[in-house]
Amino acid sequence: MIEFAHVSCAYERAKPVLKDISFTIREGETVGLIGCNGAGKSTVMKLLLGLLPCSDGKITAAGLPVDKAHLAEIRAKIGVVLQDPETQMFMPTVYEDMLFGPMNYGLSREEADRRIDAALEQLQIGRLKHRHNHRISGGEKRMAAIAVILAMKPDILLMDEPTAALDPYNRRKVIEVIKNLPGTKMITSHDLDMIYETCERVILLYDGAVCADGPADQILRDRELLETHRLELPLRYANIR
């Protein structure tokens, strides 16, 4: 469903940010992309969305090469929660933002409204429906951004720090929603307990390279591996030596 084959990229010339990255994510898999600040996690997501060109290698999503010719088709299959929700809400209200995707992909207004109400109810944020995007809190924005992709029902979900800025109750809600969501999912987070709960597999990035790729319950309990790469054991394993 997602394939990176020997991918390298750079924001500035001669300063590679990702260095020869390769991995494959099968349909229906939920994969956690972890790594310290600056490791390259958000860059992987930007590449998948075609927001940044790769200097080397090949990226495939939903069976299509990620290039200019296929970008619209690929973006229609990918739902994304960006790290900074500010950059992704572009309509005045939460409702209009939620309407945009489904209407753009040809759903009827009734079906779109049904999906929107279901997504808001699932996340228990119906009260935000007609609020202005610029007049809600950071955590509310993130919840709204997650609701937007729930209403779209994409084949592929990319979530960059979906639980950052959420209170414990909303964090729990989002974890449950992710667990019950069909589709292929790639999630980045520094909340490794959340990654443990939602992902079966983990890819560890460090300095733009893949340092480990394997079952979540193996990688997330490997203190030495995590600490060598400036991470810490999730709380669930923190007391086990």
Ligand X SMILES: Nc1ncnc2c1ncn2[C@@H]1O[C@H](COP(=O)(O)OP(=O)(O)OP(=O)(O)O)[C@@H](O)[C@H]1O
Judged by beta carbon, residue 43 or residue 163, the one nearer ligand X is: 43
d(CA 144, CA 123): 9
Question: Nearest Cα to 187, choosing from 75, 25, 8?
Answer: 25
Q: Verify binding: residue 163, Mg ion, rule CB under 5 A.
A: no
Quick check: 64 and 50 in contact, CB under 8 A? Answer: no
Q: How many residues bind Mg ion (CB under 5 A)?
A: 3
Place of tokens 């202005």: 132
Number of helices and strands (H, E) in the chain? 10, 10
Q: Verify binding: residue 189, Mg ion, rule CB under 5 A.
A: no
Judged by beta carbon, residue 44 or residue 147, the one nearer ligand X is: 44
Quick check: 151 and 116 in contact, CB under 8 A? Answer: yes
Query: Minimum Å distance from CB 161 to Mg ion?
Result: 7
d(CA 128, CA 35): 33
Query: Minimum Å distance from CB 164 to Mg ion?
Result: 10
Question: Nearest Cα to 37, choosing from 217, 160, 220, 195?
Answer: 160
Q: Verify binding: residue 93, Mg ion, rule CB under 5 A.
A: no
d(CA 11, CA 43): 9
Instruction: For residue 9, give both structure tokens.
Output: 């990229």
Q: Which residues bind ligand X (CB under 6 A)?
A: 11-12, 17, 35, 37-43, 83
Judged by beta carbon, residue 30 or residue 42, the one nearer Mg ion is: 42
133 binds, among Mg ion, ligand X, none (CB under 5 to 8 A by kind): none
d(CA 24, CA 86): 30
d(CA 57, CA 44): 13
Q: Verify binding: residue 42, Mg ion, rule CB under 5 A.
A: yes
Judged by beta carbon, residue 99 or residue 210, the one nearer ligand X is: 210
Q: Verify binding: residue 30, Mg ion, rule CB under 5 A.
A: no
Q: DSSP label at 28?
A: T
Q: DSSP label at 177?
A: H
Judged by beta carbon, residue 93 or residue 189, the one nearer Mg ion is: 189
Query: Minimum Å distance from CB 37 to ligand X?
Result: 4
40 binds, among Mg ion, ligand X, none (CB under 5 to 8 A by kind): ligand X
Judged by beta carbon, residue 125 or residue 187, the one nearer Mg ion is: 187
Binding map of Mg ion across residues 67-86, x = CB under 5 A, - = no contact? ----------------x---
Query: Minimum Å distance from CB 83 to Mg ion?
Result: 5
Which residue ranges make up the site for Mg ion (CB under 5 A)? Answer: 41-42, 83
